[in-house]
Amino acid sequence: VVAWPDVDPSSLGLGSGDVVIPGGHYQLSSSKWRRSSVVRVGGVEVGGGDLVVAAGPCAVEGEDQLRAAAAAVKAAGAKLLRGGAFKPRTSPYSFQGLGERGLELLRKVGGELGLPVVSEVTDPRQVEAAYKYVDAFQVGARNAQNFELLRALGETDKPVILKRGFGETVEEWLSAADYVLLGGNENVILCERGIRTFDHTLRFTLDVGAVAAVKRLSHLPVCVDPSHPAGRREYVEPLALAGVAAGADMLLVEVHPDPGRALSDSEQQLTPSMFLDFMRKVTAVFRASRST
Amino acid sequence: VVAWPDVDPSSLGLGSGDVVIPGGHYQLSSSKWRRSSVVRVGGVEVGGGDLVVAAGPCAVEGEDQLRAAAAAVKAAGAKLLRGGAFKPRTSPYSFQGLGERGLELLRKVGGELGLPVVSEVTDPRQVEAAYKYVDAFQVGARNAQNFELLRALGETDKPVILKRGFGETVEEWLSAADYVLLGGNENVILCERGIRTFDHTLRFTLDVGAVAAVKRLSHLPVCVDPSHPAGRREYVEPLALAGVAAGADMLLVEVHPDPGRALSDSEQQLTPSMFLDFMRKVTAVFRASRST
Amino acid sequence: VVAWPDVDPSSLGLGSGDVVIPGGHYQLSSSKWRRSSVVRVGGVEVGGGDLVVAAGPCAVEGEDQLRAAAAAVKAAGAKLLRGGAFKPRTSPYSFQGLGERGLELLRKVGGELGLPVVSEVTDPRQVEAAYKYVDAFQVGARNAQNFELLRALGETDKPVILKRGFGETVEEWLSAADYVLLGGNENVILCERGIRTFDHTLRFTLDVGAVAAVKRLSHLPVCVDPSHPAGRREYVEPLALAGVAAGADMLLVEVHPDPGRALSDSEQQLTPSMFLDFMRKVTAVFRASRST
Amino acid sequence: VVAWPDVDPSSLGLGSGDVVIPGGHYQLSSSKWRRSSVVRVGGVEVGGGDLVVAAGPCAVEGEDQLRAAAAAVKAAGAKLLRGGAFKPRTSPYSFQGLGERGLELLRKVGGELGLPVVSEVTDPRQVEAAYKYVDAFQVGARNAQNFELLRALGETDKPVILKRGFGETVEEWLSAADYVLLGGNENVILCERGIRTFDHTLRFTLDVGAVAAVKRLSHLPVCVDPSHPAGRREYVEPLALAGVAAGADMLLVEVHPDPGRALSDSEQQLTPSMFLDFMRKVTAVFRASRST
């Protein structure tokens, strides 16, 4: 079912279901294949011309926390609710998330407020269960080249927000997207979240050049996560503004009703009032950078 | 069942099954916990004072290829046979390995020659099947922080050769080892295989400082894979010598009977005759660097 | 003459001319020392609330080329003229610039058009001669820690645009600024121009997080050079927009009347018509990101 | 005076003194130009088949300190004495060295003990004075692309130990060597001292792959400085062993009679007794890795 436009596989001695590969590590994510794509998360269009912001807590910690976060981000203009249930933590001694219970809460609270929901999966065995709850799957940096997980998501029909690994080249990132696309799932959103470099002033180095590059090399919509590279909440806004100015279609931001009490990433989650200000700024910069 | 030595969990108000965490991201892999460990792969001791070399083709391609490789590496002094069956390739369009059929061949050929076998797993769902064939599991750089896979391997009793991710800090590497150790599987071998840096003269930058560091920070045996950072076979030997001189207990090397025809990594696999020379040199440097 | 506010050096047993060092690698560039500074280049204020763009050819190649570039950048709204005379090229076989003759041309053409001029120095022995021609000295990435050059510039009273080395941490960058400031020259502008990372999709990785960081850690104005990290002209605009959105007060951009014929950096210099568009966009994003 | 072997410049329409450049950033340092070179420092041959160790304090602090260090390193088998007089320090508030007085002491103590001496220069204006005292100039990482300094050294006839910048590619390092060689000074020794990477467990990442690479790409002798990447003295020996095993012809090591009292780099300087042990080990590994 996959072939290059204007190429008849049989002309190359291949069966009709074979993949035609003109060379290079990535194909289906390439802008040579298609000029631009719009991905729908719930009813929200990503890549369609408006800036989409997904916001919510790093981790779902409980129903009250989640509802407070969701109400705040909705009031400020976020269109999607994010929240971690399966948390891939560097240390096995850190809080690992509520698992499926977290997904249930996301579904419930998102439904109440009319916000489609996004959450991370970390194992092919979680995909079937998570499918019932989420409107988009998120693949984190540590699983950016977990190809078995990507294949499993490629067999579903729900959008995949594919983060770039912190040691992954742009070419590898697009090749990873091809693992999903090859399964027939065309709904991939690329997400830049900072790479590892020698400088540790911030937690990671947001690579705005990569954002600009994948907007040209690929047809897929591009998201920026400013929270993880910032590491501290005072840096979330400037990184988000830079990402939007460089071409991002979407932002994925951590907002917590009371960050000081968060069970993870407490330093980098925005407060509801910071997020209000944040939304005003990112919207203004988005418009200015798209005006002709 | 896990606790710090000389600490009674109940003295801290914890149940007997609770984990006691004195601070830091990694605990069980720390040299504060134990001075040094020996891990047995089949009957071969790693970390016991002799240099152990595991060698064989990047990928199992067929029975003849594997038997030729196995005979050559055994003749040169390798104690373990390696070969990839589940291949995590950057591009979905590259050869993905023979899967379980590859593991069967490894088992068969290893058994004939009396060589314990090592192969990579990439998905928790493969662990049960692979357990029947391999003497040690290998976790590759792209799955270095695939925590669900690490947890699954922690529930087995076979050794895990845990590669460092190419964007992973030393602290994260040891924390990943803790994911295996916490499950009760104490048989972890750390494997340095090169990190991503700005210089691309070779494929990756072998971090000999990290080898020296984990020999001090951890009790676990340390392996070096010189093939992947080299990228070209002429660089495999100097990197292996450097790794051994820096403190490695083990080497993991790609050898192919006819590298020019290999289905993967054809540029970096050693020929049998290069491997003979290689073994002589690494043995001499190992002895010289351990003499007092 | 240098001391911490509210500290009497004699109270510490020091002479009145001694430097008081409360700790840390950098002091005078710190925002603990002063909240914010404005640096005047010719009559143009950098850091005073308006975006300042310095533009012009990578290298001064001749009077006609320079005049054409200068007229174009002035017409588009640039306030300063840049052009290289002493070119520090990676290879000794590349064009090395016109030297003092290039500075004379810059002075002449800048004078005609009423544009203050900026050019690079690479050797303390050039400082005296260059002082006669330029309104601001530029220190390039390769001399970012050439401390003898920085000391020599610290003894002048003209502004220094201090680029960050591509392997230099933020802390080292601010420490390098202190080498200039300690000499009594308070006119330092920090310039981010991309760092070396593992990804080479673009030529360097523009570190917008560092821009945001030095706006908080230091009182000095901050410039972004989008041309060198871009490497190709199509990426200059998105990087400039990102730099401005992250907080930059100034941009330093390469513009050539006929980039295809440039003797250096021909791939990354903007054409005059691209620069017109560029100026409109960066101005819009600057305003949007500063609105409250 | 410079031309490619077997090429008559006039056949290319060039004068007899012109440089013939067949392409690429570096030429004269290439192994295409010459197979291998031996550089003499005082009477000591570097690259001639024996391992050469230059050792001594990070900085010359005084005559007694220097004489104690020199006697210790000579007794242990070092052939050259190193000591810093012009110190390029990250922070202007750190000890900057004794300057020319330090060079006088080096000359005096080296002369007494029959050890040729090596010291760093950081400014073209120092070269003439330093020439009177040193047997080899050292160019540090921060001046690795200070091309005016390299040109000035290219006009002398004394050896230049050219460190690689911590953000410099292998190709740039060899191009920098060409700046010296083009002046007619053929006595360049390349020195790897660690690069900047994302991992900060040690101070820098010693790039043994680069050592192996320049042994193939260039004819110049190669030195390794294990002290700066180590950062702590316990890591100096394993890094030195790795460097020698990877192909280094020379080592440059910091040894201080009383490291705890050193005015710079006190954590990484070896004690005399550690250095004795160190020399035994590096000699054994050098021999083992060169045996055939």
Read off the pLDDT of residues A133-145 as tens digits, 9 standing for 90 and up. 999 999 999 999 9
CB D276 within 8 A of CB B284: no
Share of chain D above pLDDT 90, in %: 88
B194-198, B273-277, D11-15, D171-175 — which is least confidently predicted? D11-15
C14: three-class secondary structure by DSSP: coil
Cα–Cα distance list, B142 to A214, B123, B138, C287 (Å):
21, 11, 12, 43
Res B11: pLDDT: 46
Mean pLDDT score, D107-128: 98
pLDDT tens for residues D150-177? 999 999 999 999 999 999 999 999 999 9
Which secondary-structure segment (H or E) carries C103? helix C100-113
At B236, which amino acid appears? V
DSSP B46: E
Task: Give the separation between CA D21 and CA D2, rounded to whole angstroms.
Answer: 10
The predicted-structure confidence for D73-106, as pLDDT tens digits, reads as follows 999 999 999 999 999 998 898 888 999 999 999 9
Q: Of C180, C177, C158, C155, which Cα lies nearest the Cα of C168? A: C177
**Amino acid B9: pLDDT:** 46
With contact defined as beta carbons under 8 Å apart, do D190 and D164 qualify? yes
Tell me the C-alpha distance between A144 and B196, whole Å. Answer: 15
DSSP B74-124: HHHT--EEE-BSS---SSTTS----THHHHHHHHHHHHHHT--EEEE--SG
User: H/E element holding D101?
Assistant: helix D100-113
Is residue D1's pLDDT more than 60? no
More confident residue, A14 or C276: C276
Residues ≥6 apart with Cβ < 8 Å to A247:
A211, A212, A215, A222, A289, C238
Beta-carbon separation of A122 and B27 below 8 A: no
Question: Which pLDDT score is estimated for D33?
Answer: 86
The Cα–Cα gap between D13 and C282 comes to 49
How would you classify residue A231: left for phi > 0, otherwise alpha for psi between -120 and 50, otherwise beta? left
* CB within 8 Å: A197 and D200: no
The whole-number pLDDT of residue C24 equals 67
- Tokens for C128, please give them: 């005296």
Distance (Å, rounded) from C-alpha D136 to C-alpha D160?
6
φ and ψ of B232, to 5 deg: -130, 140
> Mean pLDDT score of chain D, rounded to an integer?
92
The answer, yes or no, to whether residue A17 has pLDDT greater than 90, is no
Per-residue confidence band for A15, with pLDDT thresholds at 50, 70 and 90:
low
The 3-state DSSP class for residue D267 equals: coil
Main-chain dihedrals φ then ψ at residue B171, nearest 5 degrees: -65, -40
Q: Is the pLDDT of residue C250 over 90?
A: yes
Query: Who has greater pLDDT, D128 or B10?
Result: D128
3-state secondary structure (DSSP) of residue A222 = strand
Question: pLDDT band for position D25 (50/70/90)?
Answer: confident
Which chain B residue has its CA at the smallest distance from C198's CA? B198
In this model, does residue D253 exceed pLDDT 80? yes
Residue C33: the pLDDT is 85
| Structure confidence at residue D24 (pLDDT) | 66
Q: What is the pLDDT of residue D68?
A: 98
The number of helix segments (H) and strand segments (E) in chain D equals 9, 10
pLDDT higher than threshold 80 for residue D202:
yes
**Burial degree of B31 (CB within 10 A; 0-12, 13-18, 19+):** middle
Instruction: Name the minimum distance, in Å, from the CA of D93 to any CA of chain C.
Output: 7
Taking any CB pair shorter than 8 Å as contact, residues of chain A touching chain B are 19, 21, 25-27, 88-93, 122-125, 142-143, 145-148, 165-168, 172, 175, 178-179, 182, 195-196
The residue with greater pLDDT, A14 or A44, is: A44
Kindly list the structural domains of chain D, giving each domain's residue range(s) and its CATH number in brackets, ordered by start.
27-290 (3.20.20.70)
- Distance between CA atoms of residues D195 and D214, nearest Å: 15
pLDDT at position C15, please? Answer: 52
Per-residue pLDDT tens for C205-242? 999 999 999 999 999 999 999 999 999 999 999 999 99
pLDDT at B49 exceeding the cut of 90: yes
What pLDDT, on a 0 to 100 scale, did the predictor assign at position D84?
A: 96
**pLDDT 10s digits, A139-195:** 999 999 999 999 999 999 999 999 999 999 999 999 999 999 999 999 999 999 999
Write down the pLDDT at residue C18: 47
How far is B185 from B188, CA to CA, in rounded Å? 8
Share of chain B above pLDDT 70, in %: 91
pLDDT at B33: 86
Q: Are C115 and C81 in contact (CB under 8 A)?
A: yes
Residue among C93, C123, C167 minimizing CB distance to D21? C93
Residue D198 with chain A: CB contacts under 8 Å: 167, 196-198
- Inter-chain residue contact B205 with D201, CB threshold 8 Å: no
Residue A3 banded pLDDT, cuts 50, 70, 90: very low
pLDDT mean across residues, chain A: 92
The contact set of B with C (CB < 8 A) is 167, 196-198, 200
The answer to whether residue C13 scores a pLDDT higher than 50 is no
Asked if D169 lies within 8 A of B230 by C-beta distance, the reply is no
Closest residue in D to B197 (Cα–Cα):
D197
How confident is the model at residue B292, as a pLDDT? 67
Local structure of residue A266 (DSSP, 8 states): T
pLDDT of residue A291: 83
| D contact test, residue of C90, C120, C155, C204 with most D CBs within 10 A | C90
Interface test with D, best of A168, A198, A202 (most D CBs within 10 A): A198
Residue among C66, C41, C44 nearest C136 (CA):
C41
Give residue B237's pLDDT band: very low, low, confident or very high (50, 70, 90). very high
DSSP-assigned beta bridge partners for residue B39: B46
Pairing of strands D80-82, C44-46: unpaired
At residue B178's C-alpha, the angle toward residues D232 and B217, to 5°, is: 15
Q: Is the pLDDT of residue D7 over 90?
A: no
pLDDT at C30: 96
A48: left (phi over 0), alpha (psi -120 to 50) or beta: alpha
For residues D205 and D197, the answer to whether their CB atoms sit within 8 Å is yes
A147, B122 Cβ separation under 8 angstroms: yes
Measured between CA atoms, the residue of chain B closest to residue C166 is B198
Q: Could you report the per-residue pLDDT of B101-130, keeping only the tens digit for each?
A: 999 999 999 999 999 999 999 999 999 999
D207 contacts B213? CB cut-off 8 A:
no
Predicted pLDDT at A153: 98
- Asked if the model's pLDDT at residue D246 lies above 60, the reply is yes
Give the list of residues 6+ apart from residue D14 with CB closer than 8 angstroms, or none: D20
Angle, to 10 degrees, between the axis of helix D208-217 and the axis of helix D170-181? 50
User: Which residue from A284, A200, A199 is spatially nearest to A237, judged by alpha carbons?
Assistant: A284
CA distance A195 to chain D (A): 9
Do the Cβ atoms of D245 and D211 come closer than 8 Å? no
